[in-house]
């Protein structure tokens, strides 16, 4: 009987341990900037909540290229708590945006998660010197 109770207790402990995990749930997994001007602010935040019952630890967040830079919380996120991952895109580049950030965490169901940014960067108006008025030299005599 003691052996049976010990086995049952061990199985129950292991079963409960399997269900104790962190989970990450984002408000949105894709952000579309729409159309931005070259050099404009291309920064957004992806808000998330730890819907699990253990602290969530984000080990890494990596952009798909050097033009996409994520910043993430380094401290554990308590169960039920929320935070955000900030993503900045280098808007000096002209053209369509279709980049991703891969997040690695201790989330039980999905330890690797991908969030995305999209949009389009339009070229800034050029400052063509030929369109600028030419300043004529002054004809006044030089002061002596």
Rounded to two decimals, the pTM is 0.75
Asked if residue 24 lies in contact with residue 111, where contact means CB atoms within 8 angstroms, the answer is no
Q: What is the DSSP string of 1-12?
A: -HHHHHHHHHHH
Taking 60 as the threshold, does the pLDDT of residue 138 lie above it? no
| Confidence band, pLDDT 50/70/90 cuts, at residue 14 | very low
- State the CB neighbour count (10 A cutoff) for residue 81: 13
| Confidence band, pLDDT 50/70/90 cuts, at residue 140 | low
The residues with which 24 forms a beta bridge, in sequence order, are: 50
Tell me the pLDDT tens digit for each residue of 95-118: 999 999 999 999 998 899 999 999
Asked if residue 111 lies in contact with residue 22, where contact means CB atoms within 8 angstroms, the answer is no
d(CA 15, CA 19): 7
Tell me the pLDDT tens digit for each residue of 120-131: 999 988 765 555
Encode 34-60: b = buried (16+ Cβ within 10 Å), e = exposed.
eebeeeeebebebebbbebebebbbee
Domains annotated for the chain, with CATH where assigned, are 22-123 (2.60.40.10)
Which pLDDT score, from 0 to 100, does residue 135 have?
Answer: 55
Tell me the pLDDT tens digit for each residue of 33-81: 999 999 999 999 999 999 999 999 999 999 999 999 999 999 999 999 9
Question: Taking the CA atoms of the chain, what radius of gyration do you get in angstroms?
Answer: 27
Taking 80 as the threshold, does the pLDDT of residue 139 lie above it? no
Instruction: Say which residue, 24 or 143, is predicted with more confidence.
Output: 24
What sign for the dihedral angle of Cα 49, 52, 53, 59?
negative
């Amino acid at each position: 009987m003691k052996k049976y109770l010990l086995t049952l207790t061990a199985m129950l402990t292991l079963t409960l341990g399997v269900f104790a995990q962190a989970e990450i749930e984002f408000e949105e997994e894709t952000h579309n900037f729409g159309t931005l001007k070259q050099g404009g602010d291309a920064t957004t935040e992806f808000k998330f909540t730890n819907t699990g019952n253990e602290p969530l630890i984000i080990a890494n967040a990596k952009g798909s290229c050097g033009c996409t830079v994520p910043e993430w919380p380094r401290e554990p996120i308590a169960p039920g708590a929320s935070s955000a991952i900030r993503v900045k895109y280098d808007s000096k580049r002209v053209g369509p945006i279709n980049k991703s950030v891969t997040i690695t965490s201790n989330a039980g169901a999905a330890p690797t998660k991908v969030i995305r940014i999209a949009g389009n960067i339009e070229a800034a108006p050029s400052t063509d010197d030929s369109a600028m008025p030419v300043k004529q030299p002054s004809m006044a005599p030089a002061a002596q």
